[in-house]
Amino acid sequence: MFQNNPLLAQLKKNIHAKIPRVEGIVKSTERGFGFLEIDTQKSYFIPPKNMKKVMHGDRIIALLKIEKDREIIEPEKLIEPFLNRFVGKIEKKDKKIFILPDYPFLKNLIICQNEKNCTNIFQDGDWAIARLTKHKLNGDHFFYAELIEKIIKKDDPFIPWWVTLARHNLARNEPLVNTKNFELREDFDRKDLTNLDFITIDNSNTKDIDDALFIDETPNGEFCLTVAIADPTAYIRNGSKLDLIAYNRSFTNYLPGFNIPMLPRNLSEDICSLNPNERRPVLACHINILKDGSISNNIKFFLAWIKSKSKLSYEHVSDWIEKSGPWIPPTKSIENQIKRLYHLCLLRIKWRSKHAVLFKDSLEYRFHLSENGKVIDVFVEKRRIAHKIVEESMIIANMSAANFLSKNLGFGIYNVHSGFDLTNAENAVAFLKNYDLNFTVQEITTLKGFCKLRRILNMLSNRYIDSRIRRFQSFGDFSTVPGPHFALGFSEYATWTSPIRKYSDMINHRLLKSIIKKEKSIKPSEEIKLKISEQKRRNRIAERDVSDWLYTILLQKKEHRNKKFNAEIIDISKNGMRARLIENGANVFIPGAFLHTIRDELIFNQEMGKVFINGVMNYKVSDLIPVTLSDIRLETRSIIAKPEN
């Protein structure tokens, strides 16, 4: 009687139309149910049966229903799938190929639609790139994926690197171009400085050497610094195939254990590299530094030939200055160069401590790997005096380049940092008052006021206050027009000292050369700026991902079980704390269940960076606490720790 009744169908349609709908992102849990996050404050429950229709990370429109007096979500329409192109691990079952996406909350195998020869190409445990082709919320009965490319075989020690690079769609090898006949592309006279005692200071294993230094001291106590920078743009035409490759890569990608160069290695590590006793073309800058440490306005950029007289290492130079090792400079002239650079470094640090912002020394962690990629250990390194010598020289050079570009062109690729936006400035001022640090919003939103704040925080050496203020600060960026860099304390800053490794520096080289040669200069586009920013972000994420993977491999070793580590709390989340192991730099997560057994008595305040138990503050960001490792999950590259009483 009621079958095919148009009135009943219309009634159902009207009722369905009146059901409220919400849009959000699916968040799954390990227990099968999930939530639809509408924003940071609001989410709705998704029952396990409805979670089978969607994946973690999908953006969907869903029906908001009431079931057993509880609001629940019923997925209705897919807006954007979380998976599109993705990496995963191959599993073979019953002559069928499946792929398990390499994401922590995606634990279900996806059927692969493949041609017959895929069975021979892909073996159980191999890693592959795939593309999602069918989704249940689009009416399909199953999730399906198409295999695109094999990444690496199972059990290969280089899995962490190749899988990570594939995930982020980053190059895995040096550029493949014909580099046999590289010749200078410029017909321009260069100043011959091959008689001067230029030196380079780098890590002992550095091959792409891009900066050399020569320094003189005048009788009245001023310094004359000449910074010579490798000149790849002398060999690479603007708009050429190799130039386009360098633009797309934007940076040499430095990963634990090795790097993937922006330029072909025979160019970056040989033809352009400022290797000792080799005549090399450079872009150079001559800068006078006055007795008070300030930089003279008399800045000269020019093209030159140099011949580095010695490749020195940070370790040896630092040892010699600190009188802690057997190494001595090979000649008296090189000894004088080191002494003058050291004195200049101290002078500039003194100047920056009064007029800009000083960097706080921090530990750096470097993986020690075997030749076949197996993790042996982690080395802890500190910034020593030789690092600071080179750092101060490069800062001088980059400040000078920014000034030179601004005066002559008014554009380039500048590094900028805006300090605080208005809202965060207000929050920072309110926070600082709690510690009797009285600033105004107007003050800390100026370069001078920001520098004053940073200098006071450096003197206080309160890691908690420092971490909270940094949370309010803006992120650094690139700009095509001059702008201040608050975090450095400079009114403008433009790098040109690493053109072998950074495409932005290649752009600035070409602009500096156009001024020298009195040629027409073309302003870099916003598209170029955005491309460089995005590539920098992707490289950083890839470096972090590889490091996390290697840490999980390292800490699975027997000697780390039941071992007590000192850890610094670095962040507070909704349900736990993140901390960094001081001994090796590994990031660990401490769940709330390990802090207190009664969840309702725990409060995680992310804004304050504090954890309260029964209203009493027990932990805060910057605290050092002893921990032991509870669980190491290789499949998600996560390390779970628990605090020791």
* pLDDT per residue as tens digits for the range 57-107: 999 999 988 887 788 889 999 999 999 999 999 998 887 899 999 988 888
Query: 3-class DSSP state for residue 138?
Result: helix
Please tell me whether residues 42 and 129 are part of one structural domain.
no
Is 166 domain-assigned?
no
Which residue blocks in 284-367 are alpha helix, DSSP H? 314-321, 332-355
Q: What is the pLDDT of residue 119?
A: 62
* pLDDT per residue as tens digits for the range 255-290: 998 899 999 999 999 999 999 999 999 999 999 999
Pairing of strands 43-46, 21-28: unpaired
Band (pLDDT 50/70/90 cuts) for residue 333 is very high
Q: What is the pLDDT of residue 42?
A: 85
| Contact predicate 429/520, CB 8 Å | no
Among 38, 55, 80, where does a domain finish? 80
Is 183 domain-assigned?
no
Please tell me whether residues 368 and 313 are part of one structural domain.
yes
**Residue 186: pLDDT above 80?**
no
Band (pLDDT 50/70/90 cuts) for residue 110 is very high
Measured between alpha carbons, how far is residue 178 from residues 133, 252, 390 in Å? 38, 19, 34
Is 171 domain-assigned?
no
Please tell me whether residues 149 and 240 are part of one structural domain.
no
Which residue blocks in 235-286 are alpha helix, DSSP H? 241-249, 265-266
**Residue 628: pLDDT above 70?**
yes
Question: Could you give the maximum distance between any two Cα atoms of the chain, in Å?
Answer: 110
Measured between alpha carbons, how far is residue 219 from residues 91, 222, 355, 595 in Å? 74, 7, 26, 64
Indicate which CATH number applies to the domain containing 623.
Answer: 2.40.50.140
Q: What is the pLDDT of residue 7?
A: 60
Q: What is the pLDDT of residue 113?
A: 76
**Residue 180: pLDDT above 70?**
no
Say if pTM beats, i.e. exceeds, 0.75.
yes
The beta strand positions in 517-637, using DSSP E, are 565-572, 576-581, 587-591, 602-605, 610-613, 616-620, 624-633
Band (pLDDT 50/70/90 cuts) for residue 432 is very high
Measured between alpha carbons, how far is residue 292 from residues 296, 346, 349, 350, 390 in Å? 11, 11, 11, 9, 19
Measured between alpha carbons, how far is residue 68 from residues 18, 72, 117 in Å? 20, 9, 51
Beta partners for 24? Answer: 60
* pLDDT per residue as tens digits for the range 219-243: 888 999 999 999 999 999 999 999 9
Please tell me whether residues 112 and 224 are part of one structural domain.
no
Indicate which CATH number applies to the domain containing 95.
Answer: 2.40.50.640
Measured between alpha carbons, how far is residue 526 from residues 57, 81, 114, 239, 481 in Å? 30, 29, 41, 17, 10
Percent of the chain with pLDDT over 70: 96
Please tell me whether residues 376 and 439 are part of one structural domain.
no
Mean pLDDT calculated for residue range 405-432: 96
Range of the domain at 136: 85-156
Output the DSSP codes for 465-504. HHHHHHHHSPPPEEESS---BTTTTBS-----S-TTTBHH
Measured between alpha carbons, how far is residue 12 from residues 2, 6, 9, 15, 75 in Å? 13, 10, 5, 5, 18
**Residue 644: pLDDT above 60?**
yes
Pairing of strands 70-80, 59-67: antiparallel
Is 480 domain-assigned?
no
Beta partners for 226? Answer: 214, 286
Please tell me whether residues 404 and 289 are part of one structural domain.
yes
Q: What is the pLDDT of residue 392?
A: 97
Matching residue, tokens 């004088």 = 336
Please tell me whether residues 564 and 637 are part of one structural domain.
yes
**Residue 13: pLDDT above 80?**
no
Q: What is the pLDDT of residue 290?
A: 96
Amino acid at 553: I
What's the CA dihedral at 354, 356, 362, 367 to 10 degrees? Answer: -140
Please tell me whether residues 75 and 93 are part of one structural domain.
no
Please tell me whether residues 493 and 457 are part of one structural domain.
no
Is 186 domain-assigned?
no
Residues annotated as catalytic (active site), given as ranges: 202, 208, 210-211, 314, 501
Mean pLDDT calculated for residue range 505-525: 96
Among 517, 545, 573, where does a domain finish? 545
Please tell me whether residues 339 and 222 are part of one structural domain.
yes
| Contact predicate 630/594, CB 8 Å | yes
Please tell me whether residues 201 and 265 are part of one structural domain.
yes
**Residue 16: pLDDT above 60?**
no
Q: What is the pLDDT of residue 15?
A: 52
Which residue blocks in 180-309 are alpha helix, DSSP H? 241-249, 265-266
Among 80, 101, 124, where does a domain finish? 80
Is 244 domain-assigned?
yes
Q: What is the pLDDT of residue 181?
A: 67
Q: What is the pLDDT of residue 373?
A: 86
Q: What is the pLDDT of residue 6?
A: 67
Band (pLDDT 50/70/90 cuts) for residue 184 is confident
Number of structural domains found in the chain: 5
Is 180 domain-assigned?
no
| Contact predicate 566/624, CB 8 Å | yes
**What does pLDDT average to over the chain?**
92
| Contact predicate 327/345, CB 8 Å | no
* pLDDT per residue as tens digits for the range 521-564: 999 999 999 999 999 999 999 999 999 999 999 999 888 888 99
Is 173 domain-assigned?
no
Please tell me whether residues 348 and 258 are part of one structural domain.
yes
